[in-house]
Structure 1
């Protein structure tokens, strides 16, 4: 199949396929004398794998490492995709239930507890672990994962998650105020201490994390579920707080 046919079939742009070729992620098996890319059945299978990984939020650099590895097992990868997508579906279903109940609550038809209001929001795991490793190194991320695993083992994770969601809600109430204000800095200080339970954050790392909240649309979308503009507010408040931390 030629590039336009593959693009139409897979729902991606021709430019995307050209980019995948240029970075060595998906190289067509044939190139005609006229310079046209021709994709084989094996190329299509590999493209499906790439798009599954993209759907799950993997960066292209990591996808290339995985699919070009001599140890790559397509069937094993498909099973992993299935497991991760099932978990993602459960998460989305929970959020949809929360939205539906929130609509009923807004209409006065039902009452929602604070816990029910934030059902489905989970910021205790890190879906952007690869980016974190690239920014702050394997040791920092491994230490953080170990702390989270210990909290889960000790049954502390649910309470921690509730506290985290409650703090997000509190910060959302403050998002229209000055991020340098006493209340905003007190709340962001709690955020710093809460994050420090899962890992060690230098002033630079804490400020960098806040910048990622705005630079990465995935972070922005999740955080702004608590209130539009919260990600920007947290970035600014975290930068101010970080400047006061010991260097």
Structure 2
């Protein structure tokens, strides 16, 4: 049974604009178009989307996913086995962190003694997708450097830069109905990237910029603040930054 783009989006729980973008880059094209112009997805398309989302869950970039799926030698069963292996490793890491939390709670109650090494079991910033975000967020030297730059501004400068930033986020809010890969949205992403590099005394390399976008939806505090401009703004920016970074690599 064929499904429309809205039906597929509702079934899977992803946005219609994401499916439109996958179609535009030839990652996932609908099998057919109805006489009314509706995109129609087949059972095979659903299987392919499942593969794509497994790869995305494991942080594979879209370009790499497309290359693998387009390869005539692509083996779906072998890929699924690889997905399972990698997800088990990810789950084991999460289980270890949960165990560390439980042990830390007992340690704080005085019921258990922990070594310094045991307090950090489960953390692996060399592998996590938030590596750069964590370094930016907790690295004292980087934070101090950025704060020194900001604190050097006059009140007038701070107000001007704050207004410039608000205008960028307002523009993102106005563009919420567009695809994150559209020219207008991507132009605003470029504007935001330029703003960060021009006003914060820290080089926002692409990897850090992507992690910043991830944080907009992973951290509820960021999502709440950004979505004050309009519900869904944070999600749009995250998806748009992902596309921007992929296109720059």
Scaled by the length of structure 2, the TM-score of the pair is: 0.54
- Superposed, which structure 2 residues align to 1:17-36 within 5 Å? 17-36=19-38
Instruction: Give the equivalent residue in structure 2 for 1:55.
Output: 57
Partner of 1:39: 41
Who is 1:158 aligned against?
none
Coordinate RMSD, CA, aligned:
3.3
TM-score, reference length from structure 1: 0.54
Deviation per residue, 1:12-46 (Å, 9 max, x gap): 11111111111100000010121101110100000
- Shift in CA distance, 20/210, structure 1 to aligned 2, threshold 3 Å: closer
Which of 85, 102, 105 pairs up with 2:104?
A: 102
Alignment of 1:42-121 (within 5 A): 42-121=44-123
Q: Distance in 1 between matches of 2:105 and 2:31?
A: 52
Using the TM superposition, give the Cα deviation of residue 103 of structure 1 relative to its aligned residue in structure 2, in angstroms.
Answer: 2.2
State the distance in 1 between where 2:117 and 2:205 align: 26
Summarize the alignment of residues 1-247 of structure 1 with structure 2, pairs less than 5 Å apart: 1-125=3-127, 174=140, 178-179=144-145, 212-213=207-208, 215-217=210-212
Structure 1 residue 209, shift from structure 2 partner: 8.1
SS at 1:38 equivalent: strand
Aligned mates of 1:210, 1:59 — CA distance in 2: 17
The answer (yes or no) to whether the contact 1:213–1:220 under 8 Å persists in 2 is no
Instruction: Describe the SS at the equivalent of 1:18.
Output: helix
Count of aligned positions: 156
The 1:101/1:79 distance shift into structure 2, 3 A limit, reads same
- The C-alpha deviation readout for 1:94-140, integer Å capped at 9, x for no partner, is 01111222222233332211010110112345869xxxxxxxxxxxx
Bigger relative CO (Cα 8 Å, ≥ 6 apart):
2
Specify whether residues 102 and 126 from structure 1 end up closer, same or farther in structure 2 by C-alpha distance, changes over 3 A only. Answer: closer
Question: In structure 2, do the counterparts of structure 1 residues 44 and 214 end up closer, same or farther at CA, with 3 Å as the change threshold?
Answer: closer
Distance, in Å, in 1 between the alignment partners of 2:19 and 2:76 is: 20
Structure 1 residue 8 displacement after superposition: 1.3
Output the CA distance in 2 between the equivalents of 1:83 and 1:218. Answer: 27
Give the secondary-structure state (helix, strand or coil) at the position aligned to 2:105.
helix
> Where do 5+ consecutive residues of structure 1 fail to align?
129-167, 181-206, 225-247
Please tell me whether the aligned partners of residues 212 and 219 of structure 1 are also in contact (alpha carbons under 8 angstroms). Answer: no
